[in-house]
Amino acid sequence: QSDKYEVDDYQRVMGKMKSGRSAWVYVSSV
């Protein structure tokens, strides 16, 4: 379960990167 959750978060980070957002800030927030 935790693995699936982590993958979901990673996909969200990738999405922000494509949008030009600061992905690393998002990661730090998590």
The pLDDT value given to residue 26: 57
Burial class (CB in 10 A: 0-12, 13-18, 19+), 28: exposed
- Domain coordinates in residue numbering, the chain: 1-30
pLDDT higher than 60, residue 29: no
Band (pLDDT 50/70/90 cuts) for residue 2 is low
pLDDT tens digits, 6-27: 667 766 666 666 656 555 665 6
The pLDDT value given to residue 24: 61
The pLDDT value given to residue 17: 62
The pLDDT value given to residue 3: 56
Residues 6+ apart with CB under 8 A from 29: none
